[in-house]
């Protein structure tokens, strides 16, 4: 067996290098991922001096007359503007990621209640339906994207939420 040496000229070396780079590009991950970069996402955001926090409620509906075997995952997200009387009009939640570290559900929100109640005008609630049918008791992390003035995107998270059930 002859193990010869491959000689590459400068031009061939550049072409080979470019081919290797372009072949590797599809495997590169984007600069930011709400799931891959979970440790870098805060649990609260400060927008124009107002702290925005969230509580996540994950559950499946097993009420009689519903979907056989229970509904798919439902996410109710309560956003609170702390220290102010009303939730800021220029802040909205538009995207949701829920991960159990094995699977991830990404979706938009189906509905918004603003304010959540007359007694809590500093809170809004957004709901997403149609998620996976994870087992009751599954722990999941939640990331919500907030839009400020329809432009600026900020992310907040809620960790270790347990999937519950309604019977």
Domain extent listing, the chain:
41-166
pLDDT at 6 over 50: no
Q: Which residue has the higher pLDDT, 25 or 31?
A: 31
pLDDT at 16 over 90: no
pLDDT at 162 over 50: yes
What is the model's pTM?
0.80
Give mean pLDDT, residues 118-143.
98
Candidate CATH numbers 2.40.50, 1.20.1460, 2.60.40, 1.10.287; the one for domain 41-166:
2.60.40
Residues in CB range of 136: below 8 A, 6 or more apart = 60, 163, 164, 165
Q: Report the pLDDT value the prediction gives residue 28, as an integer from 0 to 100.
A: 54
C-alpha atoms less than 13 angstroms from C-alpha of 104 in its C-beta half-sphere: 13
Q: Report the pLDDT value the prediction gives residue 161, as an integer from 0 to 100.
A: 98
**14 alpha carbon, distance to own chain's centre:** 40
Q: Report the pLDDT value the prediction gives residue 2, as an integer from 0 to 100.
A: 52
Contact between 60 and 133 under an 8 Å Cβ cutoff? The reply is yes
Q: Which residue has the higher pLDDT, 22 or 98?
A: 98
**Percent of the chain having pLDDT more than 90?**
76
CA distance 147 to 91: 6
Band (32; pLDDT cuts 50, 70, 90): confident
């Amino acid at each position: 067996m002859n193990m010869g040496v491959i000689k590459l000229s400068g031009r061939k070396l550049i072409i080979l290098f470019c081919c290797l780079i372009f072949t590797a590009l599809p495997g590169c991950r984007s600069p930011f991922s709400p799931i891959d970069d979970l440790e870098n996402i805060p649990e609260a955001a400060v927008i124009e001096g107002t702290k925005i926090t969230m509580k996540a409620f994950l559950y499946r509906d097993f009420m009689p007359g519903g979907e056989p075997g229970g509904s798919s995952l439902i996410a109710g997200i309560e956003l609170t503007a702390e220290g102010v009387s009303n939730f800021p009009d220029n802040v909205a939640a538009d995207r949701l990621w829920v991960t159990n570290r094995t699977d991830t559900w990404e979706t938009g929100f189906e509905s918004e209640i603003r304010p959540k109640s007359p007694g809590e005008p500093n809170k809004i609630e957004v709901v997403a339906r149609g998620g996976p049918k994870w087992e009751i008791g599954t722990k999941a992390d939640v990331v919500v994207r907030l839009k400020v003035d329809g432009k600026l995107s900020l992310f907040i998270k809620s960790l270790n939420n347990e999937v519950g059930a309604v019977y």
